[in-house]
Amino acid sequence: MAIFRQYIAPLLAVLVFFIALVAVSARIFLPSDMAAPAPIEEVGVSVPATPAVPPAVNNSAS
């Protein structure tokens, strides 16, 4: 277990760091339109708004 704590776990942490560093740095080489953040809303999709509270039902006979 000491080998895992001394050698394998730190190596895995460093590898994960470098993989994340490469993934983030790769944005430099992307075209400018792909380097922008992803849009929050989808363009061209319209969803009708639903009311938060359903309308009251009138059961009285008038």
pLDDT digits (tens, 9 = 90+) for 13-57: 999 999 999 988 887 887 776 667 777 887 666 666 666 666 667
Asked if residue 37 is part of any domain, the answer here is no
pLDDT band of residue 7 (cuts 50, 70, 90) is very high
Range of the domain at 20: 1-31
The number of folded domains in the chain is 1
Asked if residue 3 is part of any domain, the answer here is yes
pTM: 0.47
How far apart are the C-alpha atoms of 27 and 35, rounded to whole Å? 6
Asked if residue 4 is part of any domain, the answer here is yes
Asked if residue 44 is part of any domain, the answer here is no
Residue with tokens 């809303």: 41
